[in-house]
Amino acid sequence: MSSRPKANSLLIAFALSLIASPLLRGQDLGDGEEIYATYCAQCHGPNLEGGQFPGFLDGMWNFGSSYNTHRNNIEFGIPGTQMVAWGQVLKQDQIDNVLQFILDREAKMGVKPPPPKPISETEHYTLNVEVLAEGLEQPWGMEFIDERTAVFSEFPGRLRLLVDSEVDYRPIANTPRPATRPTGQPFGYMDVALHPNYKENGWIYLCYIDEIPEIIDDEPNRRCATRIVRGRIKNHIWVDQEDVYKPRSDDYTVIYDHFGARMLFDSEGFLHLSIGDRGRMLDSQSLARPEGKFHRMHDDGRPAEYNPYNSMEKYGVLPTVYAYGTRNAQGMALHPVTKEIWAAEHGPMGGDELNVVKAGANYGWPLATKGIDRDGTIQTPYKSLPGMEEPIHYWIPSPAVGGIEFSTSPLFTKWKNDLLVGFLKHQQIIRIELDGHKVVKEEVILRESGRVREMKTGPDGALYVLIDRRGMILRLTPKG
């Protein structure tokens, strides 16, 4: 049940024969070890050591790092690989039992995820990887505010500074309170951005998950939404806060998912914001809703005058909407030459996309997608539809795209204007060579790193990488 694909038609046929067998479908195995021995050992070794497919003793699960992701991969399979859907053979509790057996056996044997490991030789460079910090809580967004200092966010609700490549562990005081999970844990700091004239005005933009507490049927209830504020940092304190993008009351929902929340200033000084579909898929196609959209506004939050739907505001259309039909874009970058905005977006199960953001464009979600739903069902029979934008590129299976960054560093001149893409689930960074809007080559430049949330080129030319799985900040430079 590992997720590193190796072609082996005999094993695939064997697995499919198990799925088709009424006898095995009715077999009532409860013990995880017994289930593993019956269904998994043939491919992955009786002691998890590997066989025709990889084992589980190296700490690597290439198609995910969370329990829920592993479970989905077992139940529904992984499109584009030889991992079949075992949910047709195993019951729900059996899937949990066999997964828990694997994880417990890994723990008992002292198996741990390997440290970040660069590819020894990329096509052009051998990379040096420094771990600047570890043990942070899901670092999410980062911007350099001067030659020595970067500000970065942590998802549970903190801003911190990185000074001379060392973390100042004192959180910035007086920052806004984020939402709270039903378990009571705070969550919701996402991207940070700097005003184009930051050196003159000091404005730092923070995108976070805001909430409205309320009581329904005598029970506490929380609705949440994506919000932007801006403020300044003075003497390690957040001051002068102003609202930039404040959701309407109806925009707050009880769904804790797909907030999107990347920000980017374009070459004209407009602020762009991605908001995910929030689990309300069809709202991505409604111009009256903020979900599943790219929004464009002035630096103070006013809708840009030339947004494509401004004239329709009297019909309930949101004037900030710039493009729509997206699922959950968590990567945005400005092309250094064309000044186009590129975005990387999470698909469902399969179909993560790379797009160029165009005014008035409809990117199809959920009416057209290259992937299928999380439970393995067909979301829509249409992979494309007339009038809807085709992605520049897409990935099957889904690597869970994170931050993206165009390479402009003088340290990496052979990667000039290439696009670097971080993968959360696949735990990699890839380099993409482009010919206009066409992807001509992909190369993995960092693997086994953990979940790559964001990348930024520093004033020193190094690539700074935020890893949310281990809470790390990495610094990548070419050796020599």
**Co-location of 204 and 291 in the same domain:** yes
**Co-location of 71 and 14 in the same domain:** yes
| Containing structural domain, residue 384 | 141-392
pLDDT digits (tens, 9 = 90+) for 196-245: 999 999 999 999 999 987 766 666 678 899 999 999 999 999 999 999 99
Q: Please count the other Cβ atoms lying within 10 Å of the Cβ belonging to residue 13.
A: 9
- Among 323, 217, 212, 197, smallest CA distance to 265 is for 197
Let me know if residue 122 belongs to a domain. no
Q: Are 464 and 473 in contact (CB under 8 A)?
A: yes
314: tokens are 């009297």
The rounded Cα 174 to chain-centroid distance in angstroms is: 28
Let me know if residue 320 belongs to a domain. yes
What confidence category does residue 171 fall into, taking pLDDT thresholds of 50, 70 and 90? very high
pLDDT at 256 over 80: no
Let me know if residue 401 belongs to a domain. no
**Co-location of 166 and 97 in the same domain:** no
Mean pLDDT lowest among 114-128, 129-143, 200-214, 324-338: 114-128
CA 460 – CA 150 distance, rounded (Å): 12
Q: What is the CATH number of the domain that holds 315?
A: 2.120.10.30
Residue 375's pLDDT is 63
Let me know if residue 228 belongs to a domain. yes
Q: What is the CATH number of the domain that holds 83?
A: 1.10.760.10
Let me know if residue 207 belongs to a domain. yes
CA distances from 183 to 179, 186, 211, 215, 259 (A): 11, 9, 15, 17, 19
145-153: Cβ within 8 A, 24+ apart? 145/194, 145/198, 145/204, 146/459, 147/459, 147/460, 150/456, 150/458, 150/464, 151/192, 151/204, 151/233, 152/192, 152/466, 152/473, 153/189, 153/190, 153/191, 153/192, 153/206, 153/208
Let me know if residue 131 belongs to a domain. no
**Co-location of 14 and 91 in the same domain:** yes
Residue 306's pLDDT is 93
**Co-location of 43 and 166 in the same domain:** no
Domain count, the chain: 2
**Co-location of 235 and 326 in the same domain:** yes
**Co-location of 287 and 348 in the same domain:** yes
Residue 37's pLDDT is 83
Q: Which residues contact 286 (CB under 8 A, 6 or more apart)?
A: none
pLDDT at 286 over 70: yes
CA 273 – CA 282 distance, rounded (Å): 19
Q: Identify which has the larger pLDDT, 46 or 386.
A: 386
Domain limit, last residue, from 108, 130, 157: 108
CA 476 – CA 277 distance, rounded (Å): 33
**Co-location of 65 and 201 in the same domain:** no
Let me know if residue 121 belongs to a domain. no
**Co-location of 89 and 145 in the same domain:** no
**Co-location of 154 and 66 in the same domain:** no
CA 404 – CA 401 distance, rounded (Å): 8
Domain limit, last residue, from 374, 392, 410: 392
Let me know if residue 74 belongs to a domain. yes
**Co-location of 103 and 33 in the same domain:** yes
Helix (H, G, I), strand (E, B) or coil at 351: coil
Residue 146's pLDDT is 97
Write down the pTM of the prediction: 0.80
Averaged pLDDT of the chain: 87
**Co-location of 179 and 104 in the same domain:** no
Residues of the chain with pLDDT > 90: what percent? 59
pLDDT digits (tens, 9 = 90+) for 54-79: 677 766 666 666 676 677 778 877 65
Q: Are 330 and 274 in contact (CB under 8 A)?
A: yes
Q: Each residue of 14-23: b (16+ CB within 10 Å) or e? A: ebeebbeeee
The rounded Cα 222 to chain-centroid distance in angstroms is: 24
Domain limit, last residue, from 360, 392, 424: 392
